[in-house]
Chain A
Amino acid sequence: MASACYVYGIQSVECSPPSGLAGFAGSPVIAIRCRALIAAASLVDAKGVGPTPENLLLHEEVVEALQLAGPLLPARFGTVLPSDEAVVEALAERQAALLFALSRVGDRVELGLSVLRNPPGSDGEDSSVDRGATSFGDSTQMGVGARYLRAKLVAHRREASLRREAAALAQGIDGVLRRHAIESCYTVLPTPRLAMRAAYLVAPRQLGEFHKAFDELRVVHRDHRFLLSGPWPPYSFVSPPSALLQGEPVEKGASLLAAAASKLLWP
């Protein structure tokens, strides 16, 4: 059976996987060293590991066991390299960035937040959403094409209105919770009902205050449902924040593409 290295996480050389820690198929978790870093890994079939609930839980259990030994950069589920030489090479290439990430994460943990809006229809529909559609005139006189675009316009306005509300809510919630965290990142309205999803990098000593602030937010926002999960290994804070992650350049690029394509069709 061809084998490969399944990587659970990266730590400094001062740490070592707890003795007896077993990974997939009972294979022992070992430390693969490269200068100041180790990768905690075990041998798996070269085909990798399937994303079953059991495998996901085992990955998480190993990562949490490693975290007890010291600061850890958790690897995403399914990180497989062909050999231990490939692991060493990967560590060598990213040594400085990984060391920086380790110092940034330290003993901090991640908390995940999801905020749910009330079910559709339970809050008043925004009447301004339909106002723009009146520029189409009498809907009974409209052709099939105009009716199609009118429906799209109404849907577009409704989504924009929802997004504005969710962005204001997310900004307010993040403003409160961020005071009790080292870093945070959030997305607004990932689904029409999910107002926001956020991750917080929190020092262990901050957990009590963070939970208190979370409970107070639930009282203030009784019209929303809140779910806080964790503490988890800091999966969302392994990579450094990047200017590339900000939406503006992407949106700007998309608008330019749309304008160019539009000119081709309707010069």
Chain B
Amino acid sequence: MKLVGDTAPAVEQPLRGDLEALCDFGRELSQLGPVLPSRINADPTTTEQGLAKLVLTLVELVRRLLERQAIRRIEAGSLTDEEIERMGQTFLKLDQKMAELTAAFGLKPEDLNLNLGPLGDLM
């Protein structure tokens, strides 16, 4: 099968289209997460990190849902300035605390996700 593109070298590749942007495509596709399902690491020496990842992911999910709900209420105009300030401070502290805990367990922010198989990623 021939490679068909604007500036493509004549090599055998099953690719077609804007091949000059292959690096851009590669960069974006690599952000989609591992193709193979990740699992909680059952190695006794790193069990703590595996469990922390699971728990922190669930906490992060709830935090994001609450934040989204707060934004909806702001958009609906149902909160006073004082309430917005108080909620904002709460979310900011929660955000900072999550960052601290994530780093403390040797995790990166992008680690806080779960692959739900055919449903895709949790977040």
Residues of chain A at the chain B interface (Cβ within 8 Å) = 51, 76-78, 114, 116, 132, 135-137, 142-149, 152-153, 156, 187, 190-191, 193-194, 197, 211, 214, 218, 225-232, 239, 242, 244-245, 250, 254, 257-259, 261-262, 265-266
Q: Which of B21, B70, B89, B91 contacts A227 (CB 8 A)?
A: B21
Q: Are B88 and A149 in contact (CB under 8 A)?
A: yes
Stretch at the interface among B27-35, B40-48, B49-57, B98-106: B27-35
Interface SS of B by simple majority: helix
With CB as the reference atom, state the residue of chain B lying closest to A141: B81
The answer to whether the Cβ of B18 comes within 8 Å of any Cβ in the partner chain is: yes
Residues of chain B at the chain A interface (Cβ within 8 Å) = 1, 4, 14-19, 21-22, 24-25, 28-29, 31-32, 35-36, 62, 65-71, 73-75, 77, 81, 83-92, 95, 118-120
**A144-B88, A152-B71, A194-B29 known; A258 vs B65 contact (CB < 8 Å):** yes
CA distance A145 to B79 in the complex (A): 13
Tell me which residues across on chain B come within 8 A of A136, comparing CB atoms: 74, 84
Q: Are A254 and B65 in contact (CB under 8 A)?
A: yes
Tell me which residues across on chain B come within 8 A of A266, comparing CB atoms: 83, 87
Tell me which residues across on chain B come within 8 A of A153, comparing CB atoms: 71, 74-75
Q: Are A244 and B118 in contact (CB under 8 A)?
A: yes
Q: Which of A132, A149, A218 contacts B17 (CB 8 A)?
A: A218
Tell me which residues across on chain B come within 8 A of A244, comparing CB atoms: 118-119
Q: Are B66 and A262 in contact (CB under 8 A)?
A: yes
Min CB gap A149→B, angstroms: 4
Min CB gap B72→A, angstroms: 9
Q: Which of B24, B32, B65, B92 contacts A144 (CB 8 A)?
A: B92
CA distance A198 to B6 in the complex (A): 22
Min CB gap A218→B, angstroms: 7
Query: 9 A-B Cβ contacts within 8 A?
Result: A135-B75, A146-B88, A148-B89, A190-B32, A226-B18, A227-B15, A231-B1, A242-B118, A258-B69
